A and B are shown apart, each in its own frame.
Chain A
């Protein structure tokens, strides 16, 4: 990133910090998300710094931790948009293994497979086995529940979960909730959580302190990005009403194979890149189908998401990095005050 761009971003961040949410500034930042901009969420006020600053800041407080989100591996996909999705997943795992701070765990936000085939799940398992983080949390994508109402998915990745695979867990004071919004989809609708899961969620969050940082993760975005392509969840409003009272809420999704971010009050929404193939920006193509990019560009539009939790300030910093680093974003010195 050029100095001029850095200045621009710093300027915009200044705006953000001054008056809460500056839409124009936020959009500027969104444009840079794919090249290593870091979002730190602290009490609902977004601040930011570049990737390198965060990377150098590993260690420190004993309560801090890092996890990585990967998404949409689509093992079994072999069309022109990416004839070797196993190789690109492997590249993603290599990238995770090369991180200076070993992540505590990995979250996979669904579409592990292309066609829910046992052989596809086997291949995925084989690749994931090589990850430095041994704990991997999953939620299913619609591609993982194609044949048997998700029975096989549950047996392999959802042991001990509720319903179609939802669950929650705690990590060093942060409460994580994995939700399933790809089961029992209704004609004409988008993603759906369903009554039973919503009831469970309300109950799961009840009694937790409002200062507990909450991370919700699910395959299809829990905010409406583009209804014409089904990029949203019909009953997400209700789910989000249960987290309103919390001071820090982070929502991590996949499904759309590109980075999108939004901050609404104390809730920050984020979608991850795929490890398999990109999809077009909303409305820019006749359909949401796989997007073919030149082979040498592919690794720039696939990637992983690294999330850093800092116990001081209860903040979550999100870093998206493409599989093929262009270099500049990750190695820059960072600009401005650099946050906390």
Chain B
């Protein structure tokens, strides 16, 4: 550690500045990569979508997994997406390409509602 610091300190100032400039740049690049492949999970457990409201970036794929012993669905209230019937441990994924708020519910147990917020 000390050695490394010493090594850094021995570098000429312009090199250090260049390194500092590069770092945030490379970081934002990584964030961009993550954004295009972003994914989020909603678990259906005890007749509840969890989390009930999930916020994801544009392009994110949300995956619902049914953890109950009873089948459920995840269906957009506005007809945007519609899962098949999900039996225990079955999954449904949908990729959100446009910003907006997407309310959805279980068509079998309509008291179960949730929301995907795409930003």
What is the interface of chain A, defined by CB distance below 8 A to chain B? 77, 79-81, 114-116, 142-143, 146-147, 185-190, 227-230, 286-290
Q: Output the least CB separation between A249 and chain B (Å).
A: 27
Q: Could you jot down 6 A-B contacts, CB within 8 Å?
A: A116-B85, A185-B108, A187-B103, A188-B113, A190-B110, A288-B47
Structural contact, B46 and A81, CB atoms closer than 8 A: no
Give CA–CA (A81, B103) in the complex, Å.
32
Give CA–CA (A142, B111) in the complex, Å.
13
Interface segment, one of B16-24, B55-63, B69-77: B69-77
What chain B residues lie within 8 Å of A228 (beta carbons)? 111
CB < 8 Å neighbour of B110 from A77, A116, A187, A286: A187
Top 4 A-B pairs ranked by shortest CB distance?
A187-B105, A287-B46, A287-B47, A230-B111
Interface size class of B (residues with CB under 8 A): 20 to 34
B64-111 interface with A by 8 A CB criterion: 68-71, 77, 84-85, 87-88, 103-105, 107-111
B11-36 interface with A by 8 A CB criterion: none
Closest residue to A74 on the B side, CB-wise?
B70
B116, CB-defined interface residue at 8 Å: no
Structural contact, B48 and A185, CB atoms closer than 8 A: no
Closest residue to B105 on the A side, CB-wise?
A187
State whether A290 and B70 are in contact (beta carbons under 8 Å apart), knowing that A186-B110, A229-B47 are contacts in the complex. Answer: yes
Structural contact, A190 and B88, CB atoms closer than 8 A: no
Q: Looking at B68, B107, B108, B111, which has the most chain A CB atoms within 10 Å of its CB?
A: B111
What chain A residues lie within 8 Å of B108 (beta carbons)? 142-143, 146, 185
Structural contact, A289 and B109, CB atoms closer than 8 A: no
Give CA–CA (A147, B108) in the complex, Å.
11
Structural contact, B109 and A230, CB atoms closer than 8 A: yes
Count A/B pairs, Cβ under 8 Å.
Answer: 57
CB < 8 Å neighbour of A185 from B85, B88, B103, B107: B107
Structural contact, B71 and A143, CB atoms closer than 8 A: yes
What chain B residues lie within 8 Å of A230 (beta carbons)? 109-111
Q: Output the least CB separation between A12 and chain B (Å).
A: 35
What chain A residues lie within 8 Å of B104 (beta carbons)? 187
Structural contact, B70 and A229, CB atoms closer than 8 A: no
Structural contact, A115 and B87, CB atoms closer than 8 A: yes
Structural contact, B71 and A79, CB atoms closer than 8 A: no
State whether A289 and B71 are in contact (beta carbons under 8 Å apart), knowing that A190-B110, A230-B111 are contacts in the complex. Answer: no
Closest residue to B68 on the A side, CB-wise?
A289
Structural contact, A188 and B111, CB atoms closer than 8 A: yes
What chain A residues lie within 8 Å of B88 (beta carbons)? 79
Structural contact, B47 and A290, CB atoms closer than 8 A: no
Give CA–CA (A288, B72) in the complex, Å.
13
What chain B residues lie within 8 Å of A147 (beta carbons)? 84-85
Structural contact, A189 and B71, CB atoms closer than 8 A: no
Give CA–CA (A19, B40) in the complex, Å.
60
Structural contact, A190 and B111, CB atoms closer than 8 A: yes
With A142-B109, A143-B71, A185-B108 given, name 7 new contacts (CB 8 A).
A146-B108, A185-B107, A186-B110, A230-B111, A287-B47, A287-B48, A289-B69
CB < 8 Å neighbour of A189 from B47, B69, B110: B110
Closest residue to A227 on the B side, CB-wise?
B111
Q: Output the least CB separation between A98 and chain B (Å).
A: 31
What chain A residues lie within 8 Å of B68 (beta carbons)? 287, 289
What chain A residues lie within 8 Å of B87 (beta carbons)? 115
Q: Output the least CB separation between A284 and chain B (Å).
A: 13
Closest residue to A81 on the B side, CB-wise?
B69
